[in-house]
């Protein structure tokens, strides 16, 4: 099945898998059991219950029952990274974006997700009926004392009994349903929720990410980032050198990227009859590092700038290595120089890069 284009909580899968196996995953300080959520109506709500208790429940219903809630606490910062409502201990085969009425996951762009806003530093899971009870309890509190607020009056002490991380809150102590309230990662923000489905298509869990655990990158993600870093440089090369090369019969450019950990490489090639003009670029993370220009024919190369004097062409160029932001200016300088000295340069290059004769097969 094709993966959706929108963001997925890929970091959650190995953490949950390790927890199911009784192990502690890397980067996890602890997995806290935050009591159990009672689902009565089948309509699940994930929200900041103090900021947006009127939020609609998710479109996908859940079977009535009592399900444990687990909080994945990161070793770094001791913040909650994931909150999981676990319906089954089966493996997650795929994710489905949790949507409320009016939302369509098919409209999401790459790396996008639907979220709920947090303004009190708290997230929650609740049955729709329990959220309605919380709204009613908050309204009654305000009616009795306009200066009172629900957090100080009802939640502060409850959270304190569990280290400030979570509480099993019952807006109506006489009712069965409850609201599991927990700290939202590093605090306020906007956070997405997904349904984790097993191989049979049944809901194994519902998970909210508070963007604490680093999401693993796919090879495609890494190459995409490398391409984004080099895009301005390629545009500068096309503008300042590409026009001249294409006017002389060169085809291209063909761009090839490599991603190596946090670094990236670019090879941009223009070709004509076996003669190549190459631009090689290196980047460190999101920053352009160096750019190197050279000619190539078969296995013989001629670096631009530091060896043209050997070919007898007096070009006023600095070293072939242009560092940092200078790479853009250097490409423009080379482009202008090539246009001005093209005829002499091409003759010198062709002389300096002879075609090696092919040895006859025995």
Task: For the chain, 362 residues long, give each residue's pLDDT as a single digit of tens.
Answer: 345 666 789 899 999 999 999 999 989 999 999 999 999 999 999 999 999 999 999 999 999 999 999 999 999 889 999 999 999 999 999 999 999 999 999 999 877 899 999 999 999 999 999 999 999 999 999 899 888 899 999 999 999 999 999 999 999 999 989 999 999 999 999 999 999 999 999 999 999 999 999 887 778 878 888 998 888 888 878 887 888 889 889 998 999 999 887 789 999 999 998 888 888 888 887 777 777 778 888 777 776 654 455 555 555 444 433 434 455 555 656 666 666 777 777 777 777 776 655 566 66
| pTM given for the model | 0.68
To 5 degrees, how large is the angle CA 55–CA 59–CA 65?
Answer: 90
Question: CA 71, CA 74: separation in Å to the nearest integer?
Answer: 10
Q: CA neighbours within 13 Å on the CB side: how many for 323?
A: 1
Residue with tokens 């890069």: 353
| Max Cα distance, the chain (Å) | 102
* DSSP H helical ranges for 216-341: 219-237, 243-247, 326-340
Question: CA 275, CA 349: separation in Å to the nearest integer?
Answer: 9
Instruction: Give me the pLDDT at residue 355, please.
Output: 60
Question: CA 243, CA 28: separation in Å to the nearest integer?
Answer: 54
| CB-count exposure of residue 146 (10 Å: 0-12, 13-18, 19+) | exposed
Question: CA 27, CA 92: separation in Å to the nearest integer?
Answer: 20
Residue 313 · residue 345 · CB < 8 Å: yes
Q: What are phi and psi of 95, to 5 degrees?
A: -115, 150
Q: 71: which strand partners?
A: 32, 83
Question: CA 98, CA 328: separation in Å to the nearest integer?
Answer: 44
Q: What are phi and psi of 210, to 5 degrees?
A: -100, 20
User: Virtual CA dihedral for 250, 253, 259, 264, nearest 10 degrees?
Assistant: 80
Question: CA 125, CA 84: separation in Å to the nearest integer?
Answer: 9
User: Virtual CA dihedral for 241, 247, 249, 250, nearest 10 degrees?
Assistant: 20
Residue 191 · residue 125 · CB < 8 Å: no
**Separation of CA 84 from chain center:** 21
Give the contacts of 275 (CB within 8 A, at least 6 positions apart).
295, 296, 297, 349, 350, 353
- The contacts found for 324-331 with CB under 8 angstroms, 24 or more apart, are 324/287, 324/288, 324/289, 325/288, 327/233, 327/281, 327/288, 327/290, 327/291, 328/232, 328/233, 328/236, 330/291, 331/233, 331/236, 331/237, 331/240, 331/241, 331/279, 331/291, 331/293
Distances (CA, A) of 111 to 61, 91, 172, 213: 25, 23, 39, 16
């Amino acid at each position: 099945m094709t993966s959706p284009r929108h963001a997925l909580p890929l970091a959650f899968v190995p953490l949950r898998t390790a927890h199911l196996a009784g192990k502690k995953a890397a980067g996890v300080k602890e997995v806290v059991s935050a009591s159990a959520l009672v689902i009565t109506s089948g309509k699940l709500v994930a929200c900041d219950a103090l900021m947006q208790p009127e939020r609609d429940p998710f479109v996908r219903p859940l079977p009535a029952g009592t399900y444990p809630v687990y909080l994945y606490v990161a070793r770094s910062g001791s913040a909650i990274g994931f909150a999981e409502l676990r319906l089954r201990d089966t493996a997650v085969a795929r994710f489905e974006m949790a949507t409320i009425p009016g939302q369509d996951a098919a409209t999401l762009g790459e790396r996008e997700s639907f979220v709920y806003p947090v303004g009190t530093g708290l997230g929650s899971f609740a049955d729709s009926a329990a959220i309605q009870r919380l709204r009613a309890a908050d309204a009654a509190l305000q009616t009795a004392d306009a200066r009172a607020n629900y957090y100080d009056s009802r939640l502060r002490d409850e959270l304190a009994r569990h280290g400030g991380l979570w509480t099993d809150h019952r807006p109506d102590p006489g009712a069965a349903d409850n609201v599991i309230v927990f700290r939202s990662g590093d605090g306020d923000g906007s956070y997405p929720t997904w349904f984790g489905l097993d191989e049979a298509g049944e809901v194994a869990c519902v998970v909210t990410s508070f963007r604490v655990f680093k999401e693993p990158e796919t090879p495609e993600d890494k190459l995409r980032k490398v391409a984004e870093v080099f895009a301005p440089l390629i545009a500068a090369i096309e503008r300042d050198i590409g026009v001249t090369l294409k006017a002389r019969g060169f085809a291209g450019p063909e761009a090839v990227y490599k991603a190596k950990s946090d670094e990236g490489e670019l090879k941009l090639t223009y070709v004509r009859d076996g003669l190549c003009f190459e631009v090689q670029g290196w980047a460190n993370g999101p920053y352009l590092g160096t750019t190197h220009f050279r000619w190539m024919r078969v296995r013989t190369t001629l670096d631009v700038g530091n060896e043209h004097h050997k070919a007898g062409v007096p070009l006023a160029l600095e070293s072939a290595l242009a560092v940092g932001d200078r790479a853009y200016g250097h490409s423009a300088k080379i482009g202008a120089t090539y246009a001005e000295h093209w005829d002499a340069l091409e003759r010198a290059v062709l002389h300096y890069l002879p075609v090696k004769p092919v040895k006859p097969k025995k």
